[in-house]
Structure 1
């Protein structure tokens, strides 16, 4: 009795990208499109930019231009770079422990207490 072999695909560690961007980057482009849609509603209805209405430009052209910008911005950087960049902006700042405290005017311990 012979064994039956089933082919196993070994590409589980490949990066999933669309237009050279990761999933998180495409979420950023969709969020930019939503923000531009909101901004377009606050603009004047008669405003034009490059011969097209401003709301059409902001809703469609700006997110489409964001894709090549993100591709160039992320060129040569590791996977998840944009997520780590945003986390570094939102993280609490760690300052030098050797710096003197601006709020503390008196030392914790004095020579008399020791």
Structure 2
């Protein structure tokens, strides 16, 4: 009895994207929609923009405008650029590697001379 083999075509290197954006970018757009909705509710219920309530405008139109902006912003940049950019804003900064450490007062390596 022979074993029947069925070829399965898989490409594990496929980059998943929607509207040219990565998954993290779409989460950013959804978070922006929620934030804009909350901010619009603080203004009041009587505010209108272009004939529609402000909360509807902020919840739908602002993220819809953010998608083309993100597509243009990320054009020609590598995958994960936005995530790395956000991480760089929150990571500690190393301005100069030659500068003396203000917190390290003793020599780090035993037997090293102080300058």
Give the length in aligned residue pairs. Answer: 105
Q: Deviations over 1:62-96 (max 9, x none)?
A: 11111111111111111111000001111100021
Normalising by structure 2, we get a TM-score of: 0.79
Q: Deviations over 1:18-45 (max 9, x none)?
A: 1111100010001001101110110122
| Mapped pair 1:45 → 2:51 | no
Q: Please list every run of 5 or more consecutive structure 2 residues that lacks an aligned counterpart in the other structure.
A: 107-115
Query: How far, CA to CA, are the matches of 2:100 and 2:11 in structure 1?
Result: 54
In the TM superposition, what is the alpha-carbon distance from 1:10 to its structure 2 partner?
A: 3.1
| Mapped pair 1:24 → 2:24 | yes
Structure of higher CA gyration radius: 1
Matches within 5 A, 1:47-86: 47-86=47-86
Query: How far, CA to CA, are the matches of 1:18 and 1:7 in structure 2?
Result: 28
Query: How far, CA to CA, are the matches of 2:3 and 2:74 in structure 1?
Result: 47
Q: Please list every run of 5 or more consecutive structure 1 residues that lacks an aligned counterpart in the other structure.
A: 109-114
Partner of 1:91: 91
Normalising by structure 1, we get a TM-score of: 0.80
